[in-house]
Amino acid sequence: MCLGIPGKVLETYQQESLPMGKVEFGGIVREVCLAYTPEVEVGQYVIVHVGFAISRVDEAEAREIFSYLDQIDALAESEGVPPGASGGDRDAGRPAP
State the SS3 of 30-55: EEEECCCCCCCCCCCEEEEECCEEEE
The verdict on domain 5-93 having CATH code 3.10.580.10 is no
Q: What is the mean pLDDT of residues 61-83?
A: 85
Residue 77 or 23, more confident: 23
Of 63 and 18, the structure prediction assigns the larger pLDDT to 18
Provide, rounded to the nearest whole percent, the portion of the chain with pLDDT above 90.
54
pLDDT of residue 97: 45
Residue 6 to residue 53: CA distance in whole angstroms:
9
Query: Between these two residues, 38 and 65, which has the higher pLDDT value?
Result: 38
Residue 28: pLDDT over 80? yes
CA–CA separation, 90 and 25 (whole Å): 7
Residue 69 CB burial class (10 angstroms; 0-12, 13-18, ≥19)? buried
